[in-house]
Amino acid sequence: MLELLPMQVDAGSVATSINYVWVLTVTFLIFFMHAGFAMLEAGQVRSKNVANQLTKNMLTWSVGVIMFFLVGATVEAVIAGVTTGGNYSLFAIFSPESTLGWVDWLFGAVFAMTAATIVSGAVAGRMKLRAYVTYTIFLAGVIYPVVTGLTWAGGALDAFGFHDFAGGMIVHGMGGIAGLTAAAIVGPRLDRFNDDGSANVIPGHSITFAVLGTLILCFGWYGFNVGTAAAPIAGDATALADFGYVGRVALTTTLGMAAGALGAAGVATLKTGKVDTLYVANGMLAGLVGITSNTDIITWWAALVIGGLAGAQLPIVFELVEKYLKIDDVCAVFPVHGSAGVLGALLVGIPIFTVPGAGVSLVNQVVFVAVIAGWTILATALVFGVLKAMGQIRVSREHELDGLDVSEHGVDTYPEFGRPDTATDGGVPSGRLKTDGGVDEEEVN
């Protein structure tokens, strides 16, 4: 058989190949965000719970992606079809003819797993691993696919008319709201709140890890936003894609990220007189979340405003959650992902922020946010409520004091911290070193 000469290759096939190579590239970039989440969360928890956070991040992907394939893809199709009166195929994802579609599925899967892994940071330090994995099964198989079935897959909210370009509400807002709901049900860590309702600060063990994780996530976010915008070759294979459009997404993503850091730093400085490093880091992420819904249709200056507001609300909302709701959201997932996602989804409905002709309705955006938030709260509360009623949601007091690394995994991430006779610098401590690296004051001479 003669090999095809370049001039004999179908132009449409060439375009499809190039575009799908791009889709796979940005998919792998988004997958790498799991390294960022792992480092960010590990840095914000106590040293005795680091291995637990790392394990949860790995299991989120491993368990979740299988459930999203076996169940979630079909649930998504069913919801889209039922809510619009259209047709759908059960388990079409398993068809041998779906191999090209599996690339699209994988692109959707990394978004789904991002929503799932957000929850782990909110419930760090006191939830049983089995409870978290159980919720991941339901989130990947049902809860998140219902959301995408109503929206990106062409369901009722899509027909109603909404705008969420790359998941500011569908992925991040949903994950942040789920995390807050889960944290409320499981309850706060020991000693997080005093009897009078005042809050104690329980610092994470490594700002270095947290900042490294933040920067990895920022890098991966270009896959989220720019990856969604770009298809190198136009559909008819006669022209390149509109890279002016791609340029808008790249610029507004960058400006939103930077403005979020400044917004959080500014408010933190006003409140405490100090530039809090974690607020700056989480502000970058909140700024990114705030513009993810709208990055394709907002003006450059709107990216600064929306990103800045998303960052600025972070310290305020975190304080509300801590001091008034008395919810222990360890990694601030609600102010970073939840409220910032809601803010961005609503502000895109205000015409002054968008390019001429965008035509996004504020009323539609309010309905969109309310439906997703309501479903997420209801479904999350149901799963964790049942687990709590069964006594399967929280580790024992003794296990929490020992740390989840030892009690849930049988490992000690930093073994030198736990030795009673040797300090981390090789000297002899004046008191017994605790598993979080601190010193038991009662045993200090």
Residues 226-270 pLDDT 10s = 998 877 776 666 666 677 788 999 999 999 999 999 999 999 999
Instruction: Say what the alpha-carbon torsion angle 337, 147, 141, 58 is, to the nearest 10 degrees.
Output: -20
Residues 380-399 pLDDT 10s = 999 999 999 999 999 999 99
Q: What proportion of the chain, given as a percentage, has pLDDT over 90?
A: 79
Residue 69: alpha-carbon gap to chain centroid = 19
Is the distance from CB of 342 to CB of 121 less than 8 angstroms?
A: no
Question: Would residue 44 count as lying in a domain?
Answer: yes
Cα separation, 360 vs 376, in Å, equals 24
Please provide the distance, in angstroms rounded to a whole number, between the alpha carbons at the two ends of the chain.
Answer: 87
Question: Would residue 400 count as lying in a domain?
Answer: no
Cα separation, 383 vs 185, in Å, equals 10
Residues 324-353 pLDDT 10s = 999 999 999 999 999 999 999 999 999 999
Residues 292-304 pLDDT 10s = 999 999 999 999 9
Helix residue ranges, H only, 97-173: 101-122, 129-138, 144-150, 156-160
Q: Report in angstroms the alpha-carbon separations of 339 from 19, 320, 331, 369.
A: 34, 12, 14, 11
Question: Would residue 116 count as lying in a domain?
Answer: yes
pLDDT at 60: 97
Q: Is 273 exposed, middle or buried (0-12, 13-18, 19+ CB in 10 A)?
A: exposed
State which of 7-21, 376-390, 431-445 shows the largest mean pLDDT: 376-390
Q: How crowded is residue 243: how many other Cβ atoms within 10 Å of its Cβ?
A: 12
Question: Would residue 271 count as lying in a domain?
Answer: yes
pLDDT at 237: 63
Question: Would residue 404 count as lying in a domain?
Answer: no
Confidence tier at 41 by pLDDT (50, 70, 90): very high
Confidence tier at 124 by pLDDT (50, 70, 90): very high
269-274-275 Cα angle (round to 5): 75
Q: Which of 219-232 are b and which e, b meaning 16 or more Cβ less than 10 Å from the residue's Cβ? A: ebbbbbbbbbbbbe
Residue/partner pairs of 133-139 with CB below 8 Å, 24 or more apart: 133/59, 133/63, 134/383, 134/387, 134/392, 135/182, 135/380, 135/383, 135/384, 135/387, 136/59, 136/60, 136/63, 136/64, 136/67, 137/63, 137/64, 137/67, 138/379, 138/383, 139/64, 139/115, 139/178
Residue 7 scores a pLDDT above 70: no
Confidence tier at 417 by pLDDT (50, 70, 90): low
**Rounded mean pLDDT of 417-434?**
43
- Which conformational region is residue 187 in: left (phi greater than 0), alpha (psi within -120 to 50 degrees), or beta? left
Q: Report in angstroms the alpha-carbon separations of 277 from 188, 289, 333.
A: 24, 19, 16
Residue type, 165: F
Q: Which of 405-432 are b and which e, b meaning 16 or more Cβ less than 10 Å from the residue's Cβ? A: bbbbeeebbbeebbeeeeeeeeeebeeb
Cα separation, 332 vs 329, in Å, equals 5
Helix residue ranges, H only, 189-333: 207-229, 243-272, 277-292, 300-319, 333
Residue length, the chain?
A: 445
Q: How many domains does the chain have?
A: 1
What residues are paired with 394 via a beta bridge? 127
Question: Would residue 382 count as lying in a domain?
Answer: yes
Q: Is 199 helix (H, G, I), strand (E, B) or coil?
A: strand
Q: Which residue has the tokens 């893809």?
A: 73
**Rounded mean pLDDT of 148-169?**
95
Question: Would residue 411 count as lying in a domain?
Answer: no
Question: Would residue 410 count as lying in a domain?
Answer: no
Q: Which residue has the tokens 């989440």?
A: 37
Q: Is 327 helix (H, G, I), strand (E, B) or coil?
A: coil
Residue 1 scores a pLDDT above 60: no
Q: Report in angstroms the alpha-carbon separations of 241 from 48, 73, 181.
A: 50, 29, 41
Q: Which domain holds residue 307?
A: 13-229+240-389
Give the domain CATH number at 208: 1.10.3430.10
